[in-house]
């Protein structure tokens, strides 16, 4: 009887120690920065991700790792192969990269791997071109992963300056004040058709495009599209959260084309807050307050013609 009692106490102590150790394990956020593209100052994926890493460095209980060129790799003999193990222990993954047919996550082997992360409840995020994939199997995957995506010639990508004057009350908007930046803000995304899943979408950045914006030109193709013009007066969503059926969290952010806009503290903060939220880290009451300054924007830019 005494032996059983002491064994029980020992078991309780071990469980308590394990729980304490688990609570002290930092949440790991992985940022996948796409390959260089576009002219200087645009699609600066690596510089943007390194800026986020610096901004989150002072948040307790969080580690942030950046992988360049779209996906972690390792060398095996004379070959460079995917290093999916680098993502296995991630609590959250952001893909900030070129999308469409070259999206880093839609190769069949990678798509299956991201599905495995989604199934484990890993936080998933997609920024700017990273929200665009071809319709079909990749589009269906994005519906599972994030609840919505940019569909070619259904969605649009004009350069405009939405005025984010109204923000919902949510952990992700803590400390975020109304702001407006001129950027390639995509809208009219292809949302998940299932009504139960759609109910788990939360718009964060919303604004109403003018008729001039709707008529184009869009960045590519220039448009205009009749269905976009016909929706005159409708409010559009440029950033959203998605709570997946298995409890995993995701977000999509359609801005981020112009690197200089990360100098806006509110644009930066809403994304930093969202990265914490999908990693299940408590967002500070005033949001993420970071040390990023003007000089930081000029750091780590890809070597492009300027």
Are residues 199 and 270 in contact, defined by beta-carbon separation less than 8 angstroms?
no
Are residues 204 and 176 in contact, defined by beta-carbon separation less than 8 angstroms?
no
Mean pLDDT for the chain overall? 93
Residue 15 counted as domain residue: no
Residue 45 has pLDDT above 90, yes or no: yes
Q: What is the pTM of this model?
A: 0.91
Determine if the peptide bond prior to 131 is cis (ω within 30°): no
Tell me the H-state helices in the chain.
2-24, 45-56, 85-88, 108-119, 137-146, 195-198, 211-215, 226-230, 265-278
Q: Tell me how far apart the alpha carbons of residues 130 and 151 are, in angstroms, rounded to a whole number.
A: 12
Per-residue pLDDT reduced to its tens digit, 61-101? 999 999 999 999 998 888 889 999 999 999 999 999 999 99
Q: Tell me how far apart the alpha carbons of residues 256 and 42 are, in angstroms, rounded to a whole number.
A: 8
Residue 18 counted as domain residue: no
pLDDT at 18: 41
Is the four-CA dihedral 95, 256, 49, 79 of positive or negative sign? Answer: positive
- Supply the CATH number for residue 177's domain: 3.40.50.880
Backbone angles phi and psi of 176, in degrees to 5: -90, 125
pLDDT at 3: 52
Pick the more confident residue, 25 or 120. Answer: 120
Residue 140 counted as domain residue: yes
Residue 19 counted as domain residue: no
The percentage of residues in the chain with a pLDDT greater than 70, rounded to a whole number, is 92
What total of structural domains would you count in the chain?
1
Per-residue pLDDT reduced to its tens digit, 125-171? 999 999 999 999 999 999 999 999 999 999 999 999 999 999 999 99
Per-residue pLDDT reduced to its tens digit, 171-225? 999 999 999 999 999 999 999 999 999 999 999 999 999 999 999 999 999 999 9
Confidence of residue 15 (pLDDT cuts 50, 70, 90): very low
Tell how far CA 221 is from the center of its chain: 25
Q: Tell me how far apart the alpha carbons of residues 244 and 241 are, in angstroms, rounded to a whole number.
A: 10
Write out the residue range of the structural domain in which residue 159 sits: 27-298
């Amino acid at each position: 009887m005494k032996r059983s009692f002491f064994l029980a106490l020992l078991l309780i102590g071990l469980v308590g120690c394990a729980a304490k150790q688990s609570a002290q394990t930092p949440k790991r956020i992985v940022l996948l920065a796409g390959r260089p593209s576009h002219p200087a100052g645009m699609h600066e994926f690596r510089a943007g991700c390194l800026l986020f890493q610096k901004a989150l460095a002072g948040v307790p209980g969080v580690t942030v790792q950046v992988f360049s060129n779209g996906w972690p790799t390792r060398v095996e003999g004379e070959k460079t192969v995917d290093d999916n193990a680098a993502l296995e222990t991630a609590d959250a993954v952001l893909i900030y990269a070129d999308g469409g047919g070259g999206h880093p996550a839609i190769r069949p082997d990678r798509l299956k791997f991201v599905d495995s992360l989604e199934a484990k409840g890993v936080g998933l995020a997609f920024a700017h071109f990273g929200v665009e994939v071809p319709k079909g199997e990749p589009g269906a995957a994005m519906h599972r992963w994030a609840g919505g995506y940019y569909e070619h010639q259904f969605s649009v990508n004009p350069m405009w300056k939405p005025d984010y004057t109204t923000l919902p009350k949510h952990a992700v908007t803590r400390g975020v004040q109304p702001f407006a930046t001129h950027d390639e803000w995509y809208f009219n995304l292809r949302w998940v058709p299932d009504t139960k899943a759609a109910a788990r979408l939360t718009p964060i950045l919303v604004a109403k495009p003018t008729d001039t914006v709707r008529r184009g030109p869009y960045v590519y193709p220039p448009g205009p599209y009749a269905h976009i013009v016909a929706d005159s007066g409708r409010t559009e969503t440029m950033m959203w959260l998605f709570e997946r059926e298995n409890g995993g969290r995701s977000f999509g952010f359609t801005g981020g084309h112009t690197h200089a806009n990360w100098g806006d503290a509110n644009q930066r903060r809403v994304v930093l807050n969202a990265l914490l939220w999908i990693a299940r880290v408590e967002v500070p009451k005033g949001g993420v307050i970071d040390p990023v300054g003007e000089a930081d924007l000029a750091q780590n830019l890809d070597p492009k013609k300027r």
